[in-house]
């Protein structure tokens, strides 16, 4: 080791406390900031996988109905027809719909496999990176993703393999033409199979007003066009092509594909959704963690510069050159930063894998990939080394001018306190925000859903008739541990179909588009719904159940008043008349980001029962799975048994919010730790500045408590001012975040008081060690040094 490096090591070892603060603070800050940045970049790059994302627009349909406006992310099967002929910029239209299928591949039978049907124009608008085979050339050829290939075929070559797909559209013989690279996790749709839309087109109603759930229509332009310009042209096209009266009801519009990830509130929407405000907050957290780390470094380097004033003055008097001083400073900075980057790099690599396993997201890409991460860290090391060197040289130069640089020290103290004030404000802001997020997530977890999800299993049926579904239900009711069973089109929680319902009123019949679900007589009892008026459905009756919101929407003042009213159900040009037999309490069949909407529950003894819900008597569902699989094998030998616990479904729905909330809390804790290290550095520096004063106070009998108060008083003042600034800002931004939820908490005085208390505790904890250390100063030695 060179003499300069030895001297640098001894210098850092001599000032252990500031060195350790810098080391731990920088390592923690660097690791935390880059991990947050990885999560942020994943979401900011959502849907950027497709190179044509700025030339693709998703069409959505607004309906102006008597019951109020509705806005659907889905369209009819003919919504995009003739657009290319009437709008010069439109190059093509892409329709896409995913349907569950039972696949027969050789002797293997796979249920609930999602097949995505697309027009051939899909391959010109969206990225499909072939790794095997070719693009489809005939309507019976399909592509599969690389992940699907590995899951189903393993090491076998799938090209040319035949398979049969059984969907609601019938049985379709298909042939695998190629394999494409699986889409990354930050894409709104990630198909497993790509088939020709022509295979299912004939089963759709060719009516502009027939909105098909989850049928997406995309418009591909020949160049990037502003959404406003394209919207105006689409509007003119529909006004000129729709029949009179219909153009006043149907209001189509387009949104740039790259923005649909952030667009909430549309019915039948696809893909994950994020709030831009949440991403802004995560970005600010990453930036603030990094800024706080630099602030801490600045403050501690300032403390070191002041402590070394005498040493530097003596070295200057002995003739130490600027070059030697520069080389020594470079060595000290390298010895401090290099271990931080090495340890931080290993930590980032390991923690990224853990976060990927936790979130199921692909984060180790780009500069964060295993082969590029060392290059990124090397670049950051050189950057911070230069910054560190510049700061250190500036501070050492100004601090070494005089043994008694009172004015310089005083001005630096003001700057130091100001920087710590910023850290306090940031800590207070994120403490309150993190508590709000935590309380909202806990509120959603404990809110009464209107039904009991515990012990409920949903089994997907293979498109059966009512008689077949009833047979399946009867078999499962005989399994030990099954308390009750019910058939429905969809489970108690989840997206519902929409249809026109016309109900009689005193002033005449009123028609409205309302959610509906096909159920049987055991649906209410199995899901433990609450009937508040009338009675449950009875065998053979032509009655429906409606919720409280439907009572209001249909224009009735009370649940009893609407009982026995005639209600017509119209779907696919068929109208069936029922009567209102009962009213149930509102229940959350959608997420808490949406208000509870009207819903009609009715029987349909034709097709339409695709879900079997089982209520178990115990909580150990896994122990029952072998018995359930055995019952399934009796019914469908060779077919895969597919089920989901409703509690898992609900957990997955809010998992994204929960994950973001946990990351936010984790980052807040990290920021608070870094702020504590910064405050620790300030008080350490402050105590060293006051050595003579503390020595005199001890000489005249001052106790430890008085010294702690002397050192802690300015810190508490900084905390108070920071709280006054930070808490109102955090309150307003947290309120904006809560507005995304229709059912949310209120930010009360308790959370604000808790924030203030935590900020005070933070300052007291950070003051404690330097204060006690200062209280041990020997008065004689302190006066002799001065």
pLDDT level of residue 271 (50, 70, 90 thresholds): confident
| SS3 label, residue 693 | helix
How far is Cα 301 from Cα 714, in angstroms, rounded to an integer? 21
Most confident of 1-10, 467-476, 525-534, 639-648: 525-534
Q: What is the pLDDT of residues 135-147, one digit of tens each?
A: 999 999 999 999 9
| Of 481, 445, 715, residue with least CA distance to 621 | 481
51-60, 155-164, 401-410, 709-718: range with lowest mean pLDDT: 401-410
Stretch 170-175: mean pLDDT: 90
What DSSP state is assigned to residue 595? P
How far is Cα 48 from Cα 517, in angstroms, rounded to an integer? 36
Task: Identify the sign of the CA torsion 504, 505, 507, 510.
Answer: negative
| SS3 label, residue 156 | coil
Distances (CA, A) of 419 to 298, 395, 415, 751, 766: 9, 16, 6, 26, 15
What DSSP state is assigned to residue 743? S
Strands 162-167 and 497-503: unpaired
| Of 35, 141, 157, residue with least CA distance to 666 | 35
Task: Identify the sign of the CA torsion 158, 164, 166, 167.
Answer: positive
pLDDT level of residue 363 (50, 70, 90 thresholds): confident
Instruction: Please provide residue 512's backbone torsions phi and psi, each rounded to the nearest 5 degrees.
Output: -145, 150
Q: Look at residue 676 in the predicted model and tell me its pLDDT.
A: 72
Q: Which helix (H) or strand (E) holds 105?
A: strand 90-105
| Of 109, 106, 103, residue with least CA distance to 635 | 109
pLDDT level of residue 404 (50, 70, 90 thresholds): very low
Q: Which two tokens stand for residue 491?
A: 């489970």
Q: Look at residue 634 in the predicted model and tell me its pLDDT.
A: 86
| Of 524, 573, 574, residue with least CA distance to 544 | 524
Average pLDDT of every residue of the chain: 80
Q: Look at residue 741 in the predicted model and tell me its pLDDT.
A: 79
| Of 343, 288, 254, residue with least CA distance to 60 | 254
pLDDT level of residue 126 (50, 70, 90 thresholds): very high
3-7, 96-100, 140-144: range with lowest mean pLDDT: 3-7
How far is Cα 53 from Cα 47, in angstroms, rounded to an integer? 7
Choice between 663 and 163, residue whose per-residue pLDDT is larger: 163
Cβ distance 457 to 613 under 8 Å? yes
Q: What is the pLDDT of residues 277-330, one digit of tens each?
A: 777 777 777 777 777 777 666 666 665 555 555 555 555 555 555 556 666 667
How far is Cα 26 from Cα 22, in angstroms, rounded to an integer? 6
Distances (CA, A) of 332 to 15, 112, 323, 336, 341: 12, 62, 14, 6, 15
What DSSP state is assigned to residue 621? -
Choice between 702 and 555, residue whose per-residue pLDDT is larger: 555
Q: Which two tokens stand for residue 522?
A: 């055991």
pLDDT level of residue 407 (50, 70, 90 thresholds): very low
Q: Look at residue 6 in the predicted model and tell me its pLDDT.
A: 57
Choice between 692 and 480, residue whose per-residue pLDDT is larger: 480
Strands 90-105 and 215-221: antiparallel
Q: Is the pLDDT of residue 778 over 70?
A: no
Q: What is the pLDDT of residues 719-745, one digit of tens each?
A: 888 889 889 988 988 888 788 777 888
How far is Cα 56 from Cα 51, in angstroms, rounded to an integer? 10
Residue 16, exposed/middle/buried by CB under 10 A (0-12, 13-18, 19+)?
exposed
Cβ distance 81 to 207 under 8 Å? no
| SS3 label, residue 587 | coil
Q: Is the pLDDT of residue 31 over 70?
A: yes
Q: What percent of the chain has pLDDT over 70?
A: 79
Which residues does residue 36 pair with via DSSP β-bridges, in sequence order?
none
Which DSSP string do the residues of 217-268 spell out, in sequence order? EEEEESS---HHHHHHHHHHHHHHHSPTTTTTTEEEEEEEGGGGGG----BT
How far is Cα 622 from Cα 627, in angstroms, rounded to an integer? 10
Instruction: Please provide residue 226's backbone torsions phi and psi, each rounded to the nearest 5 degrees.
Output: -65, 145
Residue with the two structure tokens 């496999």: 113
Cα angle 297, 303, 308; round to 5: 125
Q: Look at residue 386 in the predicted model and tell me its pLDDT.
A: 81
The dihedral over CA atoms of 570, 571, 573, 579, expressed in degrees to the nearest 10, equals -30
How far is Cα 176 from Cα 195, in angstroms, rounded to an integer? 10
Residue 494, exposed/middle/buried by CB under 10 A (0-12, 13-18, 19+)?
middle
Helix axes 655-689, 749-775, angle to 10 degrees: 30
Most confident of 260-269, 627-636, 710-719: 627-636
Choice between 206 and 98, residue whose per-residue pLDDT is larger: 98
Which DSSP string do the residues of 266-294 spell out, in sequence order? -BT--S----HHHHHHHHHHHHHHHHHHH
What DSSP state is assigned to residue 608? -
Residue with the two structure tokens 């149930």: 584
Helices (H) and strands (E) in the chain, counts: 23, 22
How far is Cα 262 from Cα 186, in angstroms, rounded to an integer? 12
How far is Cα 217 from Cα 126, in angstroms, rounded to an integer? 13
56-60, 127-131, 173-177, 262-266: range with lowest mean pLDDT: 262-266
Cβ distance 253 to 230 under 8 Å? no
Distances (CA, A) of 496 to 499, 528, 548, 591: 10, 19, 17, 12
Stretch 639-662: mean pLDDT: 79
Q: Which two tokens stand for residue 532?
A: 């508040």
Residue 568, exposed/middle/buried by CB under 10 A (0-12, 13-18, 19+)?
middle
Choice between 259 and 675, residue whose per-residue pLDDT is larger: 259
Strands 90-105 and 68-72: unpaired
Q: Is the pLDDT of residue 266 over 80?
A: yes
Cβ distance 370 to 364 under 8 Å? yes
Q: Look at residue 3 in the predicted model and tell me its pLDDT.
A: 54
Stretch 194-212: mean pLDDT: 87
Choice between 18 and 126, residue whose per-residue pLDDT is larger: 126
Strand segments (E) across 603-735: 611-616, 643-645
Q: Look at residue 546 in the predicted model and tell me its pLDDT.
A: 94
Q: Which helix (H) or strand (E) holds 355?
A: helix 322-359
How far is Cα 393 from Cα 43, in angstroms, rounded to an integer? 40
Side-chain half-sphere of 215: how many Cα atoms within 13 Å?
A: 22
Helix axes 749-775, 406-446, angle to 10 degrees: 140
Q: What is the pLDDT of residues 657-676, one digit of tens each?
A: 777 677 777 777 777 777 77
Contacts for 749 with CB less than 8 Å, ≥ 6 apart: none
Count CB atoms within 10 A of the CB of residue 310: 11
Q: What is the pLDDT of residues 33-77, one digit of tens each?
A: 888 888 888 888 888 888 777 889 999 998 887 667 788 889 999
How far is Cα 408 from Cα 312, in angstroms, rounded to an integer? 15
Choice between 745 and 209, residue whose per-residue pLDDT is larger: 745
Cβ distance 670 to 750 under 8 Å? no
pTM of the model: 0.75
Q: Look at residue 720 in the predicted model and tell me its pLDDT.
A: 85
| Of 197, 383, 396, residue with least CA distance to 294 | 383
Q: Is the pLDDT of residue 194 over 70?
A: yes
Q: Look at residue 403 in the predicted model and tell me its pLDDT.
A: 39
Distances (CA, A) of 238 to 73, 87, 249: 17, 11, 11
Task: Identify the sign of the CA torsion 729, 735, 738, 744.
Answer: positive
CA 399 to chain centre: 48
How far is Cα 238 from Cα 60, in angstroms, rounded to an integer? 13
Q: Is the pLDDT of residue 779 over 50?
A: yes
2-16, 197-211, 742-756: range with lowest mean pLDDT: 2-16
pLDDT level of residue 405 (50, 70, 90 thresholds): very low
Instruction: Please provide residue 207's backbone torsions phi and psi, each rounded to the nearest 5 degrees.
Output: -140, 135
Provide the residue count of the chain.
786
How far is Cα 445 from Cα 449, in angstroms, rounded to an integer? 10
161-165, 180-184, 694-698: range with lowest mean pLDDT: 694-698
Q: Look at residue 139 in the predicted model and tell me its pLDDT.
A: 92
């Amino acid at each position: 080791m060179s003499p300069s490096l030895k001297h640098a090591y001894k210098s850092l070892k001599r000032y252990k406390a500031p060195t350790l603060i810098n080391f731990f603070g920088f390592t923690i800050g660097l690791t935390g900031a880059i991990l947050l940045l990885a999560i942020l970049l994943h979401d900011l790059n959502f849907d950027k996988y497709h190179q044509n994302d700025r030339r693709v627009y998703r069409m959505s349909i607004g309906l102006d109905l008597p019951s109020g406006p509705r806005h659907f992310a889905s369209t009819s099967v003919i919504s995009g027809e003739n657009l290319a002929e009437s709008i010069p910029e439109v190059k093509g239209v892409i329709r896409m719909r995913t349907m569950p299928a039972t696949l027969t591949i050789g002797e293997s039978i796979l249920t609930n496999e999602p097949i995505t049907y697309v027009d051939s124009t899909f391959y010109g608008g969206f990225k499909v990176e072939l790794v095997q085979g070719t693009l489809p050339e005939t309507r019976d050829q399909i592509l599969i993703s690389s992940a699907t290939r590995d899951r189903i075929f393993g090491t076998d070559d799938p090209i040319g393999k035949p398979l049969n797909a059984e969907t609601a559209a019938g049985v379709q013989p298909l042939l695998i033409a190629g394999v494409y690279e699986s889409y990354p996790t930050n894409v709104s749709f990630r198909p497993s199979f790509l088939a020709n839309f022509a295979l299912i087109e004939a089963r759709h109603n060719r009516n502009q007003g027939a909105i098909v759930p989850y049928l997406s229509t995309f418009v591909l332009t020949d160049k990037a066009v502003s959404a406003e310009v394209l919207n105006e042209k689409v509007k003119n096209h529909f006004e000129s092509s729709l029949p009179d009266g219909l153009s006043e009801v149907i209001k189509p519009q387009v949104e740039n594909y790259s923005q649909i990830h952030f667009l909430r509130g549309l019915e039948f929407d696809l893909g994950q959704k994020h709030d831009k405000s949440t991403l802004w907050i995560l970005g600010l957290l990453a930036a603030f963690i990094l800024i706080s780390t630099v602030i801490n470094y600045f403050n501690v380097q300032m403390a070191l510069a002041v402590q070394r004033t005498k040493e530097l003055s003596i070295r200057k008097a002995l003739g130490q050159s600027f070059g030697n001083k520069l080389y020594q400073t470079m060595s000290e900075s390298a010895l401090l930063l290099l271990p931080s980057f090495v340890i931080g790099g290993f930590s980032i690599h390991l923690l990224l894998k853990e976060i990927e396993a936790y979130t199921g997201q692909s984060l180790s890409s780009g500069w964060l990939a295993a082969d590029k991460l060392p290059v990124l860290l090397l670049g950051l090391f050189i950057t911070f080394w230069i910054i560190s060197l510049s700061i250190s040289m500036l501070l050492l130069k100004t601090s070494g001018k005089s043994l008694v640089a009172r004015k310089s020290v005083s001005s630096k103290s003001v700057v130091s306190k100001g920087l710590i004030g910023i850290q306090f404000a940031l800590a207070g802001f994120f403490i309150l925000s993190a508590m709000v997020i935590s309380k909202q997530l806990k509120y959603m977890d404990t809110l009464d859903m209107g039904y009991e999800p515990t012990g409920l299993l949903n089994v997907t049926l293979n498109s059966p008739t009512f008689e077949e579904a009833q047979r399946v239900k009867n078999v499962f009711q005989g399994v030990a541990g099954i308390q009750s069973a019910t058939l429905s089109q969809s489970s108690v929680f989840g997206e519902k179909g929409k249809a026109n319902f016309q109900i009689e009123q005193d002033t005449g019949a009123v028609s409205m588009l309302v959610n509906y679900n096909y159920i049987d007589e055991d649906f209410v009892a199995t899901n433990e719904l609450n009937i508040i008026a009338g009675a449950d459905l009875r065998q053979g009756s032509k009655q429906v159940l409606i919720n409280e919101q439907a009572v209001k929407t249909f224009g009735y003042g009370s649940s009893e008043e609407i009982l026995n009213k005639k209600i017509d159900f119209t779907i696919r040009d068929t109208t069936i008349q029922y009567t209102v037999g009962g009213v149930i309490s509102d229940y959350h069949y959608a997420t808490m980001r949406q208000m509870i909407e009207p819903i009609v529950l009715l029987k349909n003894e034709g097709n339409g029962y695709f879900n079997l819900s089982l209520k178990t008597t115990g909580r150990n569902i896994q122990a029952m799975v072998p018995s359930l699989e055995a019952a399934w094998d009796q019914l469908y030998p060779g077919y895969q048994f597919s089920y989901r616990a409703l509690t898992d479904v609900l957990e997955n729905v809010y998992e994204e919010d929960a994950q973001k909330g946990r990351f936010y809390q984790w980052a807040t804790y990290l920021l608070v730790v870094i702020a504590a290290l910064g405050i620790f550095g300030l008080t350490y520096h402050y105590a060293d500045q006051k050595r003579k004063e503390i020595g005199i106070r001890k000489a005249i009998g001052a106790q430890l408590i008085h010294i702690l108060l002397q050192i802690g008083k300015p810190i508490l003042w900084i905390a108070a001012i920071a709280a006054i600034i930070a808490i109102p800002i955090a309150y307003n931004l947290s309120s904006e975040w809560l507005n995304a939820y229709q059912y949310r908490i209120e930010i009360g005085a308790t959370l604000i008081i808790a924030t203030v208390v935590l900020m005070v505790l933070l300052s007291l904890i950070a003051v404690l060690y330097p204060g006690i250390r200062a209280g041990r100063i020997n008065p004689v030695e302190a006066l002799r040094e001065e």
